Amino acid sequence: MTYTVYINPKRILGQSSPMLYGHFIEHFHRQIYDGIYDPQNPLSDADGFREDIMDAMRKIRIPILRWPGGCFVSSYHWKKAVGPERTPFFDKAWRVEDPNTFGTDEYIRLCRKLSCEPYICTNAGTGTPEEMSDWVEYCNLDHEGSYAKQRIANGYKTPHKVKYWSIGNENYGSWEIGAKSADEWGRLVKESAKMMKHVDPEIELSAAALPDIDWNINLLKNCSAYLDWISLHGYWDMVPEQNHLADYEQCMAFTHQIDRAVQDVRGILTALHLEKKIKIAFDEWNLRSWHHPKVHTIQQGIHKKDYLDPRDKNDDNSSYTMADAVFTACFLNAMNRNCDIVGMANFAPILNTRGCIYSHKNGIVLRSSYHVFDLYVNYLGNTVIDLWSENKTPEITVKHKNGEAIPVRQLDILATKWDNKPGMSIAAVNKHRTDSQTINFCMETDGRSFHAVRYSICGKTENSYNDIDRQEVSIETAVLGTCDRQLTLELPPHSVHVIQLL
Ligand code: AHR
């Protein structure tokens, strides 16, 4: 049965920020060392950054890159990773030695090469308000005080001018080093935010949060005057201990209420009349959690190989199928729909582990989720417009990993336009594992006709993936010709599309 969608570009729902397509990179496994920072590799530039990886990052126009963690940050001391003397330290979060050769200045240099905003997450685990605000001094003061003078002595006369800062990472969780209670958190964030904004009132501050009333009420009652953002994280296929990844249908079950956390926090912000002042930064998200078994296990008899070797399982490219592409598109659609309150989202991580780019000594693999970012940042508009249907919304019943039968919407459609040029661009996802779906788009066009082009990510099967010497998932282009008020398309199963009407 054809599903008819009406689109009215005059009904603007919101302006979505390019920062919805942000990314995250952490000192974990091969994201930094032997990842983006690989000075010995002939594929790296004079600064030690992999050119091939940076080219792939540039193609998806990263707007903002969050660093250095993640759990890593909660016992990280930035001062030991600037200047000529770098002392390796034992990273107590991930239980490995960090050489400290990639620190603040290398990170800023990387962001400049990628033309993206830096976004620094500070240590609110073992760190202090003073250490956090010293970091702002080092990055943002011209020359006042000892830290700006250190930066100049390290060769960076011009301030790094880091605008985006986050206080802490998941300090609400027992797994986090320096975990805090809601009361402790409110006080620590307030004192840290005070000092950081005294150094540079121009910075924008976020703080670790989750869709929990007590945590957020305490945080916001203490700190709303100092905060510009509130941070959320989300991983759906939780496999930190057992690498038993959800199959395609189980992943589709995760798309049910995919923006639940956003709606919960929206409610709290609105109840406190803060929804216009504080935006949501969904600054870690991915369908799949990272696999790092036994890292929090402190019982005797657990050896390094028990928790270090299994991390390589994140590198299995066959894990990242059309399920990852479809989920990624549904998440990005949801964030666009909530663009009035979600101002940033950071895919976790961008490189290796569960990232959209996989790197090896001789090159890279663009995983299925990478192509969704390519599709959205390069072909979708930045102004969300209204769409509706008078048909019954097609639903599919899929089995959740917990065995429950979950009814999810089969289609996920987002209509957009640009704020600086005519035309429209529609993202359309068909989640069905086997069935195609015909869609009839009816558009208010003021008598205009359009040149229509469809950019699609389909995969041969729902389990298609890319690997070294295997290319099953990419963007295919189809020129559809001229259309006016109507456009009828068939969406293949397990597929993501952006249809441009210019
Ligand atoms: O699995 C990686 C971790 O996931 C990140 O370091 C942390 O922020 C989140 O819990």
> Domain map of the chain by residue range?
3-11+383-501, 17-379
Q: Point out the ligand 1 atom lying closest to the alpha carbon of residue 290.
A: 1
- Output the CA torsion 337→341→344→349 (10° steps): -70
What pLDDT does residue 274 have?
Answer: 98
DSSP label at residue 79 = G
What pLDDT does residue 302 have?
Answer: 87
> Closest residue (by CA) to atom 4 of ligand 1?
70
What pLDDT does residue 170 have?
Answer: 97
Calculate the CA 176 to chain-centre distance.
20
DSSP label at residue 262 = H
- Output the CA torsion 26→28→30→35 (10° steps): 20
CA of 241 relative to ligand 1 center, distance in Å: 13
Q: Which two tokens stand for residue 370?
A: 């990478």
What pLDDT does residue 301 have?
Answer: 87
Q: Comparing C-alpha atoms, which of 446, 434, 426 is closest to residue 489?
A: 426
What pLDDT does residue 300 have?
Answer: 85
Q: How far is CA 419 from CA 172, 336, 383, 416, in A?
A: 39, 15, 6, 10
Q: Which two tokens stand for residue 454?
A: 């469809």
Q: Which are the contacts of 339, defined by CB distance < 8 A and separation ≥ 6?
A: 13, 14, 15, 16, 17, 20, 384
| Tens-digit pLDDT string for the chain (502 aa) | 899 999 999 999 999 999 999 999 999 999 999 999 999 999 999 999 999 999 999 999 999 999 999 999 999 999 999 999 999 999 999 999 999 999 999 999 999 999 999 999 999 999 999 999 999 999 999 999 999 999 999 999 999 999 999 999 999 999 999 999 999 999 999 999 999 999 999 999 999 999 999 999 999 999 999 999 999 999 999 999 999 999 999 999 999 999 999 999 999 999 999 999 999 999 999 999 999 999 888 888 889 999 999 999 999 999 999 999 999 999 999 999 999 999 999 999 999 999 999 999 999 999 999 999 999 999 999 999 999 999 999 999 999 999 999 999 999 999 999 999 999 999 999 999 999 999 999 999 889 999 999 999 999 999 999 999 999 999 999 999 999 999 999 999 999 999 999 9
CA of 290 relative to ligand 1 center, distance in Å: 7
Q: Which two tokens stand for residue 93?
A: 């979060």
What pLDDT does residue 1 have?
Answer: 84
Write down the H helix ranges in 338-490.
368-379
Q: Where are the beta strands (DSSP E) in 269-403?
A: 279-288, 342-347, 357-360, 363-366, 383-388, 395-399
> Closest residue (by CA) to atom 9 of ligand 1?
70
Q: 3-11+383-501 adopts what CATH topology?
A: Immunoglobulin-like (2.60.40)
Tell me the pairing of strands 279-288 and 342-347.
parallel
What pLDDT does residue 298 have?
Answer: 80
What pLDDT does residue 297 have?
Answer: 82
Q: How far is CA 57 from CA 172, 209, 393, in A?
A: 31, 28, 36
> Closest residue (by CA) to atom 2 of ligand 1?
290
Ligand 1: which of 166, 170, 347 to mutate, most ligand atoms within 8 Å of CB? 170
DSSP bridge pairs for 116: none
* CA–CA gap between residue 392 and residue 384 (Å, rounded): 23
Q: Which are the contacts of 273, defined by CB distance < 8 A and separation ≥ 6?
A: none
DSSP bridge pairs for 281: 231, 344
Identify the helix (H) or strand (E) that includes residue 193.
Answer: helix 182-199
Q: Any idea what the Cα angle at residue 23 is, between residues 370 and 91, rounded to 5°?
A: 115
> Closest residue (by CA) to atom 8 of ligand 1?
70
> Closest residue (by CA) to atom 1 of ligand 1?
290
Tell me the pairing of strands 89-91 and 411-417.
unpaired
Q: Comparing C-alpha atoms, which of 402, 460, 462 is closest to residue 432?
A: 462
Q: Which two tokens stand for residue 143?
A: 């020359």
Q: 17-379 adopts what CATH topology?
A: TIM Barrel (3.20.20)
Tell me the pairing of strands 424-430 and 495-501.
antiparallel
Burial 187-202 (b: 16+ CB within 10 A, else e): ebbbbbbebbbebbee
CA of 153 relative to ligand 1 center, distance in Å: 34
Residues with CB under 6 A from ligand 1: 26, 69-71, 169-170, 233, 284, 289-290
